[in-house]
Chains A and B, each alone.
Chain A
């Protein structure tokens, strides 16, 4: 016999798991601080890669100009500027990452709470069913 209540619950949960839950459920396995630091680390690496790529493109585009002026350039000053802009970029991006993911972490709680509630309810229904099965089978 189909238990309609159970089907409704399981459907809701399946829809959540396949939709919003695909991101939220893995997220729920971390502590907030762990999750955010992982994201921050990830961001720093990505920004570094992107920065190197942008730098490479700019150099490539201005290649001739650089070759012509290489002798007169104050390389230390340029190095300093590059370093500072890199640090500023990382800082900006880190703040952005922190804000966005902290907000997402908070936001996904609501769906997760509902999901956990459904999970408990489903567990209760299953236990009830098992009890009934035992009873039908005759028990001890």
Chain B
């Protein structure tokens, strides 16, 4: 625990100094991963396979605001679909449009989840997303996690049926109809949605409790709930998204990641150096504002506070 607190202090210090760069770096990593994974798993649009274009897209994504980044990556997905058939691209475009209309208008900050869920699904650690959203957001985020999962199942369907879909005999309209039927009637999708939703709600409820280490308990419970529901799913309904070893390993890695997040939770959004500029009649001001460290959360455990005092 002591070591974790040291790491946390170091991280806070870094974040305060280099927050802007860390964020750009993270966005670069996520978008690079997203574009590469799309190329590897679907890769129907030949132009997008060009390494220069891949890097270009990732760099642009890293520099623009998050909501635009999501739009660009959504466009990449639609482009891959369009290379298979226009009808499928139209279908996914309309679906994304409905998601934006109905939900992301309320919480634009959440739209990142739409991309994160499929990306993390592809590297087999999607379990961290519901837990993270339960920790950082509200239960409403269930909707965005669900949208991300639906998107992943679309991609997965295309990945698994790539040969039939790209065969010259394939008819666009039929492919689209089959995809829609297959995805929206798949038991796996609904089971994943149920497990994610329950886990997210549980994490939210548990972390609000005024007990010791509420956040850590919430993380463990969240990952545990997902693992148990999906394990039952694999054994009883025979869902085919995960194999048992993949589920176990993915859960363990997700647990570690979510724990890191829980420990470092204090300054995801704030306590970051801000740059601003303004003017009055006499001067232009270019200001760098460094937040002071305030006494942190009210409900952090007494032991953690003692440790912090010792270090000062």
Query: Taking beta carbons and an 8 Å cutoff, which residues of A are in contact with B?
Result: 2, 6-7, 10-11, 13-15, 18, 46-47, 49-50, 53-54, 56-57, 60-61, 63-64, 93, 100
Contact = CB atoms under 8 A, between A and B. Distances in A.
A10 B106 contact: no
Given A53-B98, A57-B95, A15 B177 contact: no
Nearest to A12: B289
Contacts of B287: 7, 11, 14
A14 B277 contact: yes
B180 A57 contact: yes
Contact of A11 (B94, B102, B106, B276): B276
A53 B97 contact: yes
B288 to A, nearest CB: 9
A57 B276 contact: no
Nearest to A56: B94
15 contacts: A10-B285, A11-B278, A11-B287, A13-B278, A14-B277, A14-B278, A18-B276, A53-B94, A56-B94, A57-B95, A60-B91, A60-B176, A63-B173, A64-B177, A100-B106
B151 to A, nearest CB: 15
Q: Give the top 3 A-B pairs by smallest Cβ distance, nearest first.
A: A61-B180, A14-B276, A14-B278
Interface in B239-286: 274, 276-278, 280, 283, 285
A2 B286 CA distance: 13
Contacts of B289: 11, 15
Contacts of B95: 57
A56 B285 CA distance: 54
B228 to A, nearest CB: 31
Q: Name which of A6, A11, A49 has the most chain B CB atoms within 10 A of its CB.
A: A11
A63 B277 CA distance: 57
Nearest to A64: B177
B167 interface: no
A63 B177 contact: yes
Given A57-B91, A61-B180, A46 B278 contact: no
B289 to A, nearest CB: 6
B110 to A, nearest CB: 13
B308 to A, nearest CB: 27
Nearest to A130: B281
B105 interface: yes
B101 interface: yes
Contacts of A49: 101
B303 interface: no
Contact of A15 (B98, B106, B274, B280): B274
B101 A61 contact: no
Contacts of B277: 14
Of the listed residues B105, B181, B280, B283, the one surrounded by the most CB atoms of chain A closer than 10 A to its CB is B280
A100 B102 CA distance: 13
Contacts of B285: 7, 10-11
A2 B279 CA distance: 12
A50 B101 contact: yes
A93 B287 CA distance: 43
A64 B174 CA distance: 10
Interface string B99-136: 00110011000000000000000000000000000000
A63 B102 CA distance: 25
Given A11-B276, A100-B106, A61 B97 contact: no
Contacts of B94: 53, 56-57
